[in-house]
Amino acid sequence: MPIAPPENPARRTFVFDNLRAWPGGAVETLAMTFVVLIAVRVFHAEAWQKATLVAASSFGLLLSLFPVQLVRRTGISVNVGTAVLWCVSAVCLLVAGLGGRNMDIFLPSMVVALICLTLSIPLMSQIYRKHYPDDSRGRLFASTGVLRKASALIVAAIFGKVLENNLDDFRWVLLSYGACCVLMAACVLAMERVHLQRSREVRLFGALGHLRHDRIFRSLLTSWMILGFGNLLCWSVFVEYVSNPSYGYELTEFTIAFITGSLPEIMFLFTVVGWGIIFDRVNFFAVRIILNLFFIGGMLFYFSGFGVWALCVGISLHGIGRAGGNIAWSLWVTKFAKAEQVAEYMSVHTFLCGVRGVIAPFIAFPMIAHLGPRWVGGAGVVFLSVATLMIWPHLRPKQGDEDEKPDTCNRG
């Protein structure tokens, strides 16, 4: 792992982001595995309830335009805004844990908790853009990702075993997640404060104006919308596919947690630093195409293969793709946006992610129930293939784009 940069505030941010990575990695397993696993095994949730829980994080992305604008309007630091959101998540997780086996308490509490966790993403991107050097941002972010995924790996195994031994212990699992949110908030408050230029008026959809003025940004988001929808269509039912006996698998809670939680994190752990270096040095469009190929391979094995071995291969490929995708998804706007506009560019990106993320689960769950898992996987492959073909022309820019490319793709 690279040594922290010697200069402040990069060093301070790197140190506290590494500390935040431990509770942050634990919290990642909530949306990825355990919220659906608890809903299926503890609450025997209906399809719309499972879809709502899966869509909650994306609904937070859909609303992510607003925190950036509110931070601008109020003048509070990005750090404080982020910490407030994580503390709200902690309170909601506390309520869900203390509510017992009551779906009327569990569902709304978890939805609000997951929404607040994702509302903070554009704000954290602004911190990374402000504090990390351009030539090592991807590497530093990836290095922190190693710790984050190591934490997720450990937590997925522990919580999977806890639930396998006694499903009623889901309360302690949720309370543990709440404690992690508080620790995350403490870490971001310890970083040097980042402020956005204060605005006298709140234009909630003002950031969408960048789509009109930045052609390459608009083109990339269109492709990302298609590939993201295909990815989310499959991701929504990863846990449902292996936890619902109707689809042919009768696995224990620990095995489900290992396949859907631990295994992709192991692959993430082994490959994320390499992806960080690639992100810093390789053409972004080439990186995006390679990532798409990993996701396509993962979907084909996971949904079209036979046996646990196919599940493991598929989820491993998906984990490798997710390692690079996490870096690309979190930092790509730092390559395209001016320094002051990073949070706004990111909020547009996360807003559109939220649009597709809210829709995808409500299509995925009825689709797998009525058509079967192979149709879900096939649809995902088609969407990602189309998105990849859309990106391909950017690898060979037209002659007229040569003067535009350095200004558009390497700003700030």
The answer to whether the beta carbons of residues 85 and 116 sit under 8 Å apart is: yes
**Residue 99, burial from CB neighbour count under 10 angstroms (0-12, 13-18, 19+):** middle
Between CA 82 and CA 63 the distance in angstroms is 14
DSSP string, 65-100: HHHHHHHHHH---HHHHHHHHHHHHHHHHHHHHHT-
Half-sphere exposure of 238 (CA within 13 A, CB side): 33
The reported pTM is 0.73
For helices 10-29 and 137-165, angle between their N-to-C axes, nearest 10 degrees: 30
Between CA 8 and CA 54 the distance in angstroms is 39
Between CA 337 and CA 287 the distance in angstroms is 18
Please name the residue that has the structure tokens 């959101």.
85
Cα angle 220, 56, 81 (rounded to 5 degrees) comes to 80
Q: Which two tokens stand for residue 182?
A: 């508080």
Q: Which two tokens stand for residue 228?
A: 């993201």
pLDDT score recorded for residue 206? 57
**Residue 293, burial from CB neighbour count under 10 angstroms (0-12, 13-18, 19+):** middle
Q: What is the pLDDT along the chain (412 residues), one digit of tens a residue?
A: 445 555 677 889 999 999 999 999 999 889 878 998 899 889 998 888 988 998 898 888 788 778 877 888 888 999 999 999 999 999 999 999 999 899 999 999 999 999 999 898 888 888 988 888 877 887 888 888 889 878 988 888 899 889 988 989 999 999 999 999 999 999 999 999 998 877 665 555 556 666 667 777 788 888 888 988 999 899 888 888 888 888 888 888 888 888 887 888 789 888 888 888 888 888 888 989 999 999 999 999 999 888 889 999 999 999 999 889 888 887 777 776 777 677 777 778 878 888 888 899 889 989 998 988 899 999 999 999 999 998 888 776 554 444 444 333 333 3
pLDDT score recorded for residue 340? 66
Report CA 308 to chain centroid distance, whole Å: 26
Between CA 227 and CA 276 the distance in angstroms is 21
Sequence letter at residue 195: H
Measure Cα distances from 324 to 196, 271, 277, 289 in Å.
Answer: 28, 8, 10, 11
pLDDT score recorded for residue 217? 77
Between CA 315 and CA 309 the distance in angstroms is 10
Half-sphere exposure of 269 (CA within 13 A, CB side): 16
Residue 205 has a CB neighbour count (10 Å cut-off) of 11
